Amino acid sequence: MRSMRTATFSVLCALATAVATDAQDYRYALLQLPSQNKLIPDSGIGGMNAHGDVVGGSVLDSIWLPRAVLWPHEGGVIDIGTLGGDVAGAAAINDLGEIVGSSSIEPGGSIFVGHAFLWRDGKMIDLGTLGGESSGALAINNLTQIVGMSEFEPDNRRGRGFLWVDGKMTVLRAALPGYYSSDVADIDEEGAIVGEGPGLDLQYNAHLWRDGEVIDLGSLAGRGSRAEAINAHGEIAGQSNSSNGNLHAVVWIDGRIIDIHDGRFGVASWMDDINGSRQVIGSIGNGLGTRQMFIREPGQPMRLLKDLIPPQTRRTWRLDRGKINDAGQIATTAFPDGSGVDSYALLLTPVQPTMEMQPPSPGRAGVANVLTATNATPGARVTFLYSRFGGGQRIPGCDLQQNALQLDSPTIIGTAIADQNGVATITRTVPPVARNQTILFQAVVQNECAISQLVVHQFE
């Protein structure tokens, strides 16, 4: 396999001591998306489409300022340019590859004055404003309907939500007569828009704009709310002030608001996104500095994402904000080792193990150990891998939505042909110095994009 070193098991003697981890639901491979800057890795995500293409911003080497970038699902990073200024950021991408965001418009000009843009066919189009100085696009659907925020000249240049269709930008009015939207967040494939504005109860409430109607979605305890995302079924995710004053993550399904906050992880929660399977992601904690990202599936309790990624990653990641697509992939901005300075763009992609790998037997250092993978295709060449680090790596020739390895810089232990029962085994001697070391193992059939589950084992 390309990019994987072939070595004997004896290199285990160089591995560092780590704490053993019991069998767990490691459902994601974690991949770091490349930065444009070799010295300053600062990157952050804005959006993701159904194919796993991710957009956001990344600092450029030559000017040390953020630029709008595309991370294609095939790999790599592409600077998509600006509207003439020095700074740009991408907020969303649709399934056609059209990208929206905001860009400064004059070289050397203010980086805080920008216009909403649409990028398609390799060109960036200026969408203008509602009459004010600045605007920014936030979401786009496959009909090239775009929503965002713009300064609004008739309203003292305050930010108002807009809808852009076929070259025309219009302001979104609020449910409260005579007022405008205060924020807008997302648009679905039928043109329904969600955001926030002054509601009928004089609170700033989540809003839904659909078929020419403005709907106040209400809130928990009548204390205000905000919508963040809408999926293909018209289900909406956001947050609302609760009766105790703390924000709670909520969903609106069939017009009914549902509180999904889980007090085990903190006093407040915020929502980021919802996909077509009603998987929702957001953050929960006791404040901005202590919050952690969660995922919640229908009928299931919240799970912290940090518990679902491979153990022993090279950095301890604090996941911040994210987007989830219908394939269950999560793009997130993350800070390493608790830092609030350098940010990285990460992709968490679900894995689908079809083989079962057994822990090394007898699992002791200083003796021969057997590695076994079952449920392989009879006659398939099974490659056994190990690493001291968890994370993620592409399987050459395989799309990330098919599968990915959950090892970082894996080493090939050896290969074996699966017998008629789909069982493949290899035997290797583990050196005595591996005692008390925790090693990660996985098996793969490259030409089938098939993997085993991740095995985490501490040698006796």
pLDDT in tens, 382-408: 999 999 999 999 999 999 999 999 999
89, 225: one domain: yes
**The domain that contains 448 carries what CATH number?**
2.60.40.10
What average pLDDT does the segment 164-178 reach?
96
Alpha carbons 302 and 290: distance in angstroms, whole number: 17
Alpha carbons 196 and 185: distance in angstroms, whole number: 8
Task: Give the residues across from 101 on adjacent strands.
Answer: 90, 117
Cis previous bond, 41, omega within 30: no
The candidate with the shortest Cα–Cα distance to 29, out of 443, 394, 441, is 394
**Domain final position from 291, 325, 350:** 350
User: What is the domain count for the chain?
Assistant: 2
Is residue 2's pLDDT more than 90?
no
Given this model, what pLDDT does residue 70 score? 97
pLDDT band at 62 (very low <50, low <70, confident <90, very high): low
**The domain that contains 326 carries what CATH number?**
2.120.10.30
346, 393: one domain: no
18, 152: one domain: no
Is residue 9's pLDDT more than 70?
no
Alpha carbons 214 and 211: distance in angstroms, whole number: 9
What average pLDDT does the segment 283-304 reach?
89
Q: What is this structure's pTM?
A: 0.92
What average pLDDT does the segment 359-383 reach?
97
311, 372: one domain: no
Is residue 64's pLDDT more than 80?
no
How many residues make up the chain in this entry?
460
Q: Quick one: tokens of 454?
A: 């991740």
Domain that holds residue 374: 5-22+353-458
130, 212: one domain: yes
296, 417: one domain: no
300, 394: one domain: no
pLDDT in tens, 21-39: 335 899 999 999 998 876 6
305, 362: one domain: no
Is residue 301's pLDDT more than 70?
yes
183, 320: one domain: yes
**Domain final position from 303, 331, 350:** 350
pLDDT in tens, 399-437: 999 999 999 999 999 999 999 999 999 999 998 988 999
341, 373: one domain: no
How is 268-313 classified by DSSP, letter by letter? EEEEEEE-TT--EEEEEESSTTT-EEEEE-TTS--EEGGGSSPSS-
369, 411: one domain: yes
CB 192 within 8 A of CB 210: yes
Q: What secondary structure letter does DSSP report for 243?
A: T
142, 272: one domain: yes
**Domain final position from 304, 329, 350:** 350
